[in-house]
Structure 1
Amino acid sequence: MLLETVRESVLAGNGPVTPSAVAAAVQASGKLLGTAGALAAAESINAELNGLGPLQQLAHDPSVTDIFVNGPDSVWMDRGQGLERSSVQFDSEGQIRALAARLVSAGGRRLDDGSPCVDVRLKGGYRVHAVLAPISTSGTLLSIRIRREETFTMAELREGGMFNEHIEALLHAIVERRLSFLISGATGSGKTTLLSTMLGLSHPSERLVLIEDAAELNPVHPHVVALESRHGNLEGGGALDLGELVRQALRMRPDRLIVGECRGAEVRELLTALNTGHTGGGGTIHANTAEAVPARLTALGALAGLNAEAVKLQVSSALDVVIHVERTPLGRKVGSIGVLTESLDGQRVVTALRWGPEGLVRGPAWPDLNARLSASSPREEDTTAWCLPVGFDAPTMIGYE
């Protein structure tokens, strides 16, 4: 078999497994493949030795953001319109396990019976999660998220249908007026994409410190510092969690402190930072609706040893706005913008703007949001008053609740 012959030839050498070494081994194999066949074979074998194996062809599609392997004949991908079944297939369960073990090993960790669930980040922007049987009842599972270097502008997101010109103006204002915000939504709804684009609106003189479990944010901005958490090594030492990184970031004089995704006890440090003068920061959070965000924050606060009342007090003065993004049959969309408020029923996210069947609708929290925007300014030298964008009062374009 050509793959086995080339693999043995390349691995027998002392140098690194490079594309040129693979191409030379293919040529030296003596197989009569022709120019096109030799190039295709070299690319396929290089993917098998260095890349994602049979999945590499999916990764070459710039629209693919996620790849899922559930079995030899069950490979799925996401190109922004929901999950689609791919025509890619593996020869066997063993081939999937071998690929998973190699990818995890490349990330400095091990995948075996003693460590059957592993998450690693690889060069090239791949975040790989692997699960072995019997933890997985259907064999080896692979989930690969691909970080694309391309960053969209607000205009491009608007043209793609994520929001209209009214919400675009409001998102600009939220950043410019330094309101602290969270972007909520389900997995794959576009939270990170929107956050990265919004951060690019920050003033060039500001210092952005980004804290992530796996680096995905790439805002177009001249002064960005990124910190990434680290798993323990094979002996379990050397781990750095997000909470510790937030504490370190506070010593780096950030103008905006961003936690890519609030998913654990680090929410305590983030809320503390936003309450001590670091306005204009925020991050993303998993939630099915904007209204579910207070309960999610309470649950995350409990992981940090905070009771519900302590979380409530922290959140009430730390966060201003919740921007909720949704996945629709037509793509990703900003579904609503809400304000965190107090009520007799406890802490709530009250709608300021939302999309309804009749179009964009102003909710009961619109006056509160407008007041917060009017009371804030991005920099001391900026005295420009916040004004409603043209068209916000047009009843044919925006309804009322």
Structure 2
Amino acid sequence: MNVSLTTQELIREKMLANIDIDKVEYLVDDYSKLIELLSKTFYALFSDNKYKLTTQEQEKSIEMIADEITGFGPLRELMEDESISDIMVNGPEKIFIERYGLITLTNRRFINNTQLTDITKRLMQRVNRRIDEGRPLADARLIDGSRINAAISPITLDGTSLSIRKFSKNKRKLEDLVDMGAMSSDMANFLIISASCRVNIIISGGTGSGKTTLLNALSKYISENERVITLEDAAELNLEQPHVVRMETRLAGVENTGQITMRDLVINSLRMRPDRIIIGECRGEETFEMLQAMNTGHNGSMSTLHANTPRDAIARLESMIMMGPVNMPIFTIRRNIASAINLIVQVSRMNDGSRKIRNISEIMGMEGENIVLQDIFSFKPIKERDQQGKIQGEFINHGLLSRSSVRISAEIYNLSNELSSIFSAVEK
């Protein structure tokens, strides 16, 4: 729209002053009727066309108000674009997106920080979250499943910050990840067997590396006969099995009461007769309870955490257990980790935007006071890139030790032949 920001601001102020948003919100899901209603108000207020707007500019001005009322303002088309996975707003003038793993600056913007903050508050109000100067940070799950994090003044110095992780309607399968070059077919088959025969798995990686995508893909191979409980801060997992209980943490209310932490959910889930417990992300004092669950018959449990390598993931688990109420020596902590977790799957977002599984490593127990890690698969990049600038490399199959817990579990679930076929070439 070629209308100046000053004119847009004046139109917005006058329109919103003459509209009771609470009374027109019922039209949020009927965009055409909302446009029709707003058009009547617009042409009544600006019948003299003192701003010298063309017909197209008038229509765009009406759409601007409609987009704000429906929730996302200038972000609406970005939210509707399924190729975009993340939207990041750094103040009113800078809107970034992530598309196919690459982050770019868009030509979109808000009129001013007031509009951005008003839209942010309205988005939070619709999901019963509060954000204001007294509570300038908020995290929520939107109605469509997208995750939103917001920060406003006085915490942010250059305008309101908004981060939206869009909910993907297309659930990726392991086969899709193979086709995308994220892993080899041998790695996918190994993970299918591991998930099917109830191996305890931690998926490790950085922000936006695809941890939850992989966790969702692995969940497909959980038996329909199992009772599964999923625990998340913001619900993203979408299991297809019939016997699933989904639970979500809750922030404290206005009076600082009613908070339900991840640790509360883990402790409660153990009383719900689960076969498996899946924790969307392990990040604090709930870690010890998660390991206890894995060690007490809830085989096949899974979680994700933020770490850069499998060894770093172990160090992170140690640190998170120390954050909890249980006081244990480091040797005991490591022994608990070694007996509870079987596999660590390391995922990374490469600098070309692609996602790769860098390592699938098995915890083989303790050697002295240290946890022993054994690589089963790894990705070895090469210097040369392809014509599109994408990273090339080789997924290496290192083989599986005879005392592997995956091998033992595969025998129990009658999957030994399938497992052996994956490693037959390297074990000859």
TM-score, length basis structure 1:
0.89
Change (3 A) 1:135 1:385: same
Q: Which residue pairs with 1:24 in the alignment?
A: 36
Change (3 A) 1:80 1:389: farther
Write the distance in 2 (CA, Å) between the matches of 1:103 and 1:80. Answer: 26
The yes-or-no answer on 1:245 pairing with 2:265 is yes
Q: 5+ residue gaps in structure 1?
A: none
Instruction: State the 1:87 CA deviation.
Output: 1.4
Q: Which residue pairs with 1:373 in the alignment?
A: 406
Q: Which moved more, 1:71-80 or 1:126-135?
A: 126-135
Aligned AA for 1:283? Answer: S
Work out which of the residue numbers 4, 8, 11 in structure 1 matches 2:20. Answer: 11
Question: Are the counterparts in 1 of residues 205 and 309 from structure 2 also a CA contact under 8 Å?
Answer: yes
Change (3 A) 1:315 1:255: same
Q: Which residue pairs with 2:332 in the alignment?
A: 310
Write the distance in 2 (CA, Å) between the matches of 1:193 and 1:86. Answer: 25
- Give the match's secondary structure for 1:161: coil
What are the residue-to-residue correspondences of 1:202-217 with 2, within 5 Å? Answer: 202-217=222-237
Structure 1 residues 318-343: Cα deviation after superposition (integer angstroms, max 9, x where no partner): 11000111112251111110012323
The yes-or-no answer on 1:356 pairing with 2:387 is no
Change (3 A) 1:276 1:10: same
Write the distance in 1 (CA, Å) between the matches of 2:241 and 2:100. Answer: 25
Aligned AA for 2:337? Answer: V
Change (3 A) 1:164 1:239: same
Q: Which moved more, 1:212-221 or 1:112-121?
A: 112-121
What are the residue-to-residue correspondences of 1:2-401 with 2, within 5 Å? Answer: 3-4=12-13, 6-8=15-17, 10-11=19-20, 14=23, 16-19=25-28, 20=30, 22-29=34-41, 31=43, 44-306=64-326, 307=328, 308-328=330-350, 329=352, 331-341=354-364, 342-344=366-368, 346-357=370-381, 359-363=394-398, 366-367=400-401, 371-377=404-410, 382-388=413-419, 390=421, 392-394=423-425
Structure 1 residues 249-280: Cα deviation after superposition (integer angstroms, max 9, x where no partner): 12222221100000111111111111110000
Change (3 A) 1:210 1:155: same
Write the distance in 2 (CA, Å) between the matches of 1:392 and 1:383. Answer: 17
Structure 1 residues 335-376: Cα deviation after superposition (integer angstroms, max 9, x where no partner): 11001232346124332210114622244x8316x7322211
Change (3 A) 1:113 1:359: same
Aligned AA for 1:376? Answer: S
Aligned AA for 1:373? Answer: V
Aligned AA for 1:350? Answer: Q
Question: Are the counterparts in 2 of residues 73 and 89 from structure 1 also a CA contact under 8 Å?
Answer: yes
Question: Are the counterparts in 2 of residues 9 and 25 from structure 1 also a CA contact under 8 Å?
Answer: no
- Give the match's secondary structure for 1:367: coil
Question: Are the counterparts in 1 of residues 193 and 415 from structure 2 also a CA contact under 8 Å?
Answer: no
Aligned AA for 2:414? Answer: T
Question: Are the counterparts in 2 of residues 183 and 322 from structure 1 also a CA contact under 8 Å?
Answer: yes
Change (3 A) 1:253 1:55: same
Q: Which moved more, 1:12-21 or 1:260-269?
A: 12-21
Write the distance in 1 (CA, Å) between the matches of 2:358 and 2:262. Answer: 29
Question: Are the counterparts in 1 of residues 211 and 347 from structure 2 also a CA contact under 8 Å?
Answer: yes
Question: Are the counterparts in 1 of residues 182 and 356 from structure 2 also a CA contact under 8 Å?
Answer: yes
Write the distance in 2 (CA, Å) between the matches of 1:320 and 1:35. Answer: 65
Question: Are the counterparts in 2 of residues 291 and 350 from structure 1 also a CA contact under 8 Å?
Answer: no
Instruction: State the 1:121 CA deviation.
Output: 2.1
Instruction: State the 1:108 CA deviation.
Output: 2.2
Aligned AA for 2:400? Answer: W
Question: Are the counterparts in 2 of residues 231 and 239 from structure 1 also a CA contact under 8 Å?
Answer: yes
Write the distance in 2 (CA, Å) between the matches of 1:174 and 1:34. Answer: 63
Change (3 A) 1:75 1:349: farther
Write the distance in 2 (CA, Å) between the matches of 1:366 and 1:377. Answer: 12
- Give the match's secondary structure for 1:73: coil
- Computed over aligned residues only, the root mean square deviation of the Cα atoms, in angstroms, reads 2.8
Aligned AA for 1:304? Answer: G
Q: Which moved more, 1:238-247 or 1:352-361?
A: 352-361
Give the paired residue count.
393
Instruction: State the 1:112 CA deviation.
Output: 2.3
Instruction: State the 1:14 CA deviation.
Output: 4.3
Instruction: State the 1:196 CA deviation.
Output: 0.5
Question: Are the counterparts in 2 of residues 208 and 255 from structure 1 also a CA contact under 8 Å?
Answer: yes
Write the distance in 2 (CA, Å) between the matches of 1:278 and 1:46. Answer: 50
